Amino acid sequence: MNKVVDLMNNLAKQLTPESLAQYFDHTLLKPFATVEAFEQFCADSAKYKFKMVAINPAPVKLCKKLLEGSGVRVGAAIGFPLGQNTIETKIFETEDAINNGSDEIDYVINITQLKHRNYDYIEREMAGVVELCKKHSVTSKVIFENCFLTDDEKKELCKIALNVGPDFIKTSTGFGSGGATLEDVALMKNMVGDKIKVKAAGGIRTLDMVLKLIDLGVERIGSTASIEIVNTFVKSL
């Protein structure tokens, strides 16, 4: 236990409030969010200099305008949160979000097709979204939704991702029955190494969890508690 504490303390010493904030995709995906809520959300994101705001496609134009000149990127969630759209719908939704100003795309895989071992479908879907993102120099992230998957299914997705080449693979939507776990992140990192980045999301609310995820090699963290986590870090200095 002391070794773990020492490891976390050493990691924390390597971070600054600014470098910690750059791990975060600050998140507002509530279907009932108001314009006023987005205005405050974007103001907070600009103040803390988070890497990205994670939102649904509809408010992309609004958030892009609110964050103009801030350096904060705008990310749209595609096929969210169930992933049960057709490939054609996800492609259209991705292109529409990019046209509206999205700098990054987080899309949910079709879990039904994965369960059916229709890996060709999963690869075609992933390739369609990722190739469109690459065409427009937009960052692509593939959401696995690990809470519904077996370890073998997670590994198959990692293998497909290695073939296709998205920028990130991601643990969860935050809307499933479970979120990011250290075990899932370790599995994903072991499968893809440094060839694809890993984003953890879902239920991440404490600085302790964030430090453990960073130690495992996570390069992006999706959270609604980003402000509280950074503030906790600042207080610990």
What are the catalytic residues?
A: 106, 170, 199
Pair 189, 215: CB distance under 8 Å: no
- What's the rounded Cα separation, in Å, for the pair 146 and 151? 8
Alpha helices in the chain (DSSP H): 2-14, 17-21, 35-48, 60-66, 87-99, 111-115, 119-135, 151-164, 182-192, 207-216, 226-236
Structure tokens at 50: 């988070």
| SS3 sequence of 117-156 | CCHHHHHHHHHHHHHHHHHCCCEEEEECCHHHCCHHHHHH
Alpha-carbon Rg for the chain, nearest whole angstrom, is 17
Pair 173, 108: CB distance under 8 Å: yes
* Cβ neighbours for 208, distance < 8 A, ≥ 6 positions apart: 8
- What's the rounded Cα separation, in Å, for the pair 214 and 181? 12
Phi, psi torsion values for 224, nearest 5 degrees: -90, -10
